[in-house]
Structure 1
Amino acid sequence: MGERKGQNKYYPPDFDYKKHKTLNAYHGTTALRDRGKKMSQGIIIIRFEMPYNIWCTGCDSHVGMGVRFNAEKKKVGNYYSTPIYEFDMKCMYCDSHYIIRTDPKNFDYEIISGARRQHLRKNISKNEIEEETEERNDDISVDKMSKLNHLQNDYVSSKKSTKDVSVLERYNKKMKDDYGANSLARDILRKQKNEIRDIISKDEGLKYSLGLKHISLPPEKEIDKIKANSIVKTQCFANAYSSTTMFPKNESLIDKLKRKSNDFYDFGSQKKSKESPKIIQFKKKEVKTIKKNDTSTTNSLLVEYSSDSES
């Protein structure tokens, strides 16, 4: 599509290439449109970002660093070969204008009119080092008390720095063998994964046996273990004094009923035996069998029950 851009432009009948040369010149405009209205005066409109905090002199309003304005930019001079630019912008709260110039000598921006700069006081933090000047060093060398204080401060700061250095050295020793540290971390992670996998498999088996596949089990806690152990202990204590412990574990319900019925009959027979115990005696008696036309005797064993109790 790039080759069609020049062909798709409309050139009016009175357009003369030698006279107008471009369509922008024919229409009396530039490629910058509204931004290039004052190109004949050497002014172009840009977006200017405030380099620092300022106070407006017209309405005393505060303008923070980083606020952007539509500013007129023009060249007003040179510092050696570096051009000096001036920016003119209108205040957003009143009708006054800010005029700011570049200062290549001091690597800064200079306020010409319409505003004043907000000076921030810098506090030296703990991590920053105070600049030592020649005057300060001379005072320390002459004044013995200041020298003593300076040495004491150096001693305290050296103690703190030695602690920090020792911590860093220990950390570097630990991380020196990066392969061993990496392998140790991977072994720990592998064990944790296996433990989690075993717990999940146990939970799935328990849910499958109880028919609760759709229920998610919460993680196990120490309180749950204590409660479960107390319940199991109470059940074992109750079973020790119940009649259920007299039956075999694998005995079916039908076998239990049969055995209970047999125990009932045995218990009734024991009561009768206490009242009249029976003694079984074996005696031989002759039994005569009479047949037609013949008489013969046969010996047979008969059993007699006597109710006489032994003395």
Structure 2
Amino acid sequence: MSSLAAARADNFYYPPGWRPEKGSINKYQKSHPLGKRAKDIKDGILVVRFEMPFDVWCTHCETHIGKVFNALKDAYTSRGVRYNAKKSKVGMYHTTILYQFELTCATCKGIMIVQNDPEARGYKLVSGIRKKVQVDDIPVGSHDDETIEQLNGPEVGIAKAADPFYRLEHDKKDKEVAKKRSVGLQDLISHQDRLSDQYQTNASLRASFRAEKKTLKRKTDEAHRLNLSIPLVDAHIDDVVASKSVVFKRTRPTKPLKKGILPSKRDPFANFGSTSSSKPSSIPKTIIRQL
């Protein structure tokens, strides 16, 4: 490596026209250490890589954004979609800086704004974006049928130990809840018993697969016989009846052939050489010349 290349590699290279009174190298070359990411740094905006922390929906085009789908594993990975976001400071929460991230939807080019939320230890969706509701986001007791129940906390145990009447009422409620749950538990147990025989379950599954495979092969052979490149569907009785009831008519009536157009069935050489006629005048003149 030459001395010039080594100096550039160590970031100690100074152009010939630079002087210390002209300021730093970046100021002299009118550049920034962060490059294009800092083109709006004078407005307090820095371009950073922002990874979507959870599944969301773009409100502009209703496109799902979030976890990346891995086609090889046929599942969603934990890595979210990443964007070049414009990061700017918008406020303070005590001593923590509130940052705003401006994203651009890759589908419709709509603007999506996300802010960090130190109070809730998460992120706040400001505009152009909507969070996908997950099971963990549903508050306890928000359902009418109370399908999600909250477990007893330590304060319940302390209250039961201190108040016998409270313990009696609470135990009665627990028995009612257990009775209500027993119906669903019995259904789960019976369903599990039906699947306990692994051999029979596997045999039934393979039989259904074989039948489906034969059906697909029959449809493929039928499409190949008809020279079709589209998949065929099962015939419906209504389609069969409708196809049989169709009567095809000629749009243009055909004109009858005129008399005399058809060639005559008589042999033109039938009388040639006949013994009944001995006159030479009956022989055509063209044949006489040839003879």
Q: Which structure ranks higher in relative contact order (CA pairs < 8 Å, sequence separation ≥ 6)?
A: 2
With structure 2 as the length reference, what TM-score do the two structures score?
A: 0.44
The structure number with the bigger radius of gyration is 1
With structure 1 as the length reference, what TM-score do the two structures score?
A: 0.41
